[in-house]
Structure 1
Amino acid sequence: MFSLAVTFLCLLCPVTSAASLSSQTCIVPSGQQWLVTGLENQLMNSINHLCSPDPSALIALNLAKNQDVCVPGQLLQQIKDTAAQEMTSGKVALYVLALRSSCENPREVVTPNGKINLVQILEDKTREETESYKKRSPKTTFYQLALDALALCFEESPDIENVAGILIKAANDLQLREDFSVDTAAMVSLALVCVYDDPSSNNLREKIPKVLKLLIDHILEKQQENGIIGNIYSTGLAIQALSVTSQFWSQDRWNCTKTLNKALQEAYLGAFNNPGAISQILPSLVGKTYLDVKNLQCLPVNPIRVNYTIINHLIGLYFEHSIIVDVPPCSVLLDVLEAAKRDEPREFSFKTKETCWGPMVISINDIKADENEKTYWQFLSGNKPLDQGVGSYKPSNNENIVAIFSKY
């Protein structure tokens, strides 16, 4: 236990790294890992049912080092495709963090409408937040402003000192701090730890330890007897904040194992039943925090190679053309057709029509299917007919895909 004197001295002396000091050992027991895996699978299964892509889900999956590259890859592409849409500053910050967690550069995001710089957009929106703060409150919330600060810290933006200064001032203001939810206090703590660990933030470093202690005290005051901090949904972020600020609380004030066990019990009972709730608790269950996004290392994702052949021995001038195309892993067959068309448009042009079962190919190389003639384009893997459409079937590496103009 730290004495008051030692705590006071620690606030005055430099610390090597606030983030490098870990809390008491707190890991999910091997016998309960299946609960964590279940949450991860539930999150992956929910991705395709979201109304809009959730950057928090991608961050959580990447922090969990998910081995299935398909779902995170699809979610990453959706995030890129929607990066140009109008968003609040906090949402832009999450997009920046999500891209960084996938080792993508948020300053050069390729969208359907061209390349954009999300960091510049974040800086502009954060300035709107700070201008509004001059009238007592940010444009949105302090939680979003803390997200802005965390993302700007990772990107080494010159705006970070201004934003961090506002967060420090707000946390020092008793009235504002009392209005902070556990989530807000935790996110502000994470952002300030990031700033503290940046050697270039000399103007703020001496102020941050005192503020972190105030914030951690505020978080721990919300701790319940059963270990939950705030509520079950804010507990994940609280664990993150506490795990990187252990120098500011004595070990008798928080039992991480007790909190983790309660979170696992709630997971078993189905408390985390939506993507947002899972995304918030999953990093803590795998021993990670949002600060780990900055140092994530991504394994290279190699494309898959598909041999694609089209055959017409039924009408007109017979033909048989083959091509080898490289497509990203987890691509569907339609992506293979698009790649072939892009490489050799004359031979591999095609058309589709939408059906209740997804897109259906009705023409390849100007040879059209005809209901009156009972002709169609049949797709096979080797010699085996496919049981899924071109919009669903996912070819494997070095697979031989054949499209044959056929009769039924």
Structure 2
Amino acid sequence: MYILYILSGLLALVASKPCDPVGSEPGELLLSLNKNLLRSLEDEGTSPNPSVHLALRLSTHHNLGMESDHLNALKTDLHTDIESSLTNSQPVVGLLALYTLALKASCYDLNTLTFTVNQRSETLLTHLKRQMELEKDHIAFSQRPLTNYYQYSLGVLALCVSGVRVNSHVSNKLIRAVGHGHIKHEASDSIDTFAMAGMALQCLKESDTQVQDAALDKALDLIKLKLLDSQRADGHMGNEFSTGLAVQALLAMGSQVQECASSMEAMRSDVRKGTYLNPMAMSQTLPALQQKSYLQVKGKECRNEDDSLVLEAREPVTVLQSHTNVALKVEVVKSHGASAVYSVDVPTGTSLVDALELLQKTNIDFTFEKETSLWGPFLSVVNGELARQTDRRYWHLSSDGNTLSQGIKDFKIETAQQITIKNTRY
């Protein structure tokens, strides 16, 4: 009952702010964000992204031709990548779940899509269920999923919105993780994971095939409390890049998030400032600003859709080379604690990945390798040391002691600072 009293008060604060939007600016801002997300499909060298497709399909306005082309790219390029991962027994539940949600948002018949692994052809949903069983078994063995609880929650959500009965042992593992404080990133609560878990568990609660119980309701109440309690003074929940999912989850769980709520205004403010340049960030923010959630994929009907979204011709972009350099220090801390510090001068506005490339060219003692993800490139090997998901390790990035919320491609070096790259266990 104590949680319910606190929750009622926090929800009242969220819903109590009067809403009086000025003119048509919010609508124009959303349309601009929608177009920017659509335009990301045109970027050269960009792989098809199921999260981007999902957001475009949930949007009010569409460019059905471009969305159809992107769907075909997902069904060829991404499909092949996932099939390769499955063949090599690599955990791929998060990507498989997003692919499922993207297809479902396009009203695609999921039973007609198959993967051939070891000369055996099975449907996408069969593979997703098997991946979730592997994740569940790993939790039973080691108290954590093969991947993480964010991807695990995505898997539960994808199965649920697709009308597949979720094994109670699978759902109970997520409910227990929420209740036992396992939804963490290092020592802090993982707000985006709580948000995804909230949408997944809410879907189960609304499903006719899911047995209702007190533990599920308690987990949902706790998730609401965690999300609302994470709100900062500027309105963001967690940080700028988790607020979209947090708002989606609150909406999915039945909370009233008004258009002029501080969380909505915080996201709009960052859209104006150009914070959401990464397509993944845009894809999680756009549905929230349209007061929609991934849970709505369940009832999606692809009929009489607005097809009015048209992209204007791109203006030629002239990149002016900065003539001002800033001093950058890069500290590398390996898994056993040994550290080394390097220095390099870089032009103002250089991306972190380009700064590291410059450092690698000018200092033979510093080396790094990167891999790709839906969010962009990330560090995998630094100075010969590998940080692998299978070992529960990654390269944690911070600037002057403050954890970076952006990746190595998006973070820009604007002032003199020290970047610390630390091999970290999670």
Shorter-chain TM range is 0.5 to 0.7
Cα distance in 1 for residues equivalent to 2:105 and 2:59: 11
2:220 — aligned with what? 212
The amino acid across from 1:83 in the alignment is H
- Find the partner of 2:274 among 265, 270, 276: 270
CA contact (8 A) 2:58 2:292 kept: yes
Cα distance in 2 for residues equivalent to 1:187 and 1:28: 29
CA contact (8 A) 2:4 2:221 kept: no
* Residue-by-residue CA offset, 1:56-93 (whole Å, 9 max, x unaligned): 11110111033311111111111111324335101000
The amino acid across from 2:261 in the alignment is T
Cα distance in 2 for residues equivalent to 1:200 and 1:273: 40
- Is 1:68 aligned to residue 33 of structure 2? no
- Is 1:132 aligned to residue 138 of structure 2? yes
1:173 — aligned with what? 180
- Is 1:53 aligned to residue 53 of structure 2? no
Cα distance in 1 for residues equivalent to 2:36 and 2:49: 14
- Is 1:117 aligned to residue 137 of structure 2? no
- Residues 209, 255 of structure 1: alpha-carbon distance in 2 compared, 3 angstrom cutoff: farther
The alignment covers a number of residue pairs equal to 283
- Residues 194, 74 of structure 1: alpha-carbon distance in 2 compared, 3 angstrom cutoff: same
CA contact (8 A) 1:100 1:106 kept: yes
82-91 or 147-156, which moves further after superposition? 82-91
The CA RMSD over aligned residues, in Å, is 3.2
Q: Percent same amino acid among aligned pairs? A: 28
Cα distance in 2 for residues equivalent to 1:35 and 1:101: 24
CA contact (8 A) 1:237 1:280 kept: yes
- Residues 125, 6 of structure 1: alpha-carbon distance in 2 compared, 3 angstrom cutoff: closer
1:235 — aligned with what? 243
- Residues 300, 108 of structure 1: alpha-carbon distance in 2 compared, 3 angstrom cutoff: farther
1:288 — aligned with what? 292
Cα distance in 2 for residues equivalent to 1:188 and 1:124: 19
TM-score, scaled relative to structure 1: 0.63
SS in 1 for 2:238: coil
The amino acid across from 2:151 in the alignment is Q
Larger Rg: 1
The amino acid across from 2:28 in the alignment is W
1:78 — aligned with what? 73
Q: Gaps (5+ residues) in structure 1?
A: 11-21, 302-408
- Find the partner of 2:148 among 112, 136, 141: 141
Q: Gaps (5+ residues) in structure 2?
A: 9-13, 86-91, 306-426
SS in 2 for 1:74: helix
Cα distance in 2 for residues equivalent to 1:201 and 1:27: 40
153-162 or 113-122, which moves further after superposition? 113-122
CA contact (8 A) 2:56 2:62 kept: no
In the TM superposition, 1:5-404 aligns within 5 A as: 30-49=24-43, 51-81=46-76, 82-86=78-82, 87=85, 88-109=92-113, 117-134=123-140, 135-174=142-181, 176=183, 179-202=188-211, 204-246=212-254, 257-299=261-303
Cα distance in 2 for residues equivalent to 1:78 and 1:236: 26
CA contact (8 A) 1:47 1:75 kept: yes
Deviation at 1:287?
1.4
TM-score, scaled relative to structure 2: 0.60
* Residue-by-residue CA offset, 1:180-215 (whole Å, 9 max, x unaligned): 41100000000000000012211x433211111111
* Residue-by-residue CA offset, 1:15-41 (whole Å, 9 max, x unaligned): xxxxxxx97797976322111111111
2:374 — aligned with what? none
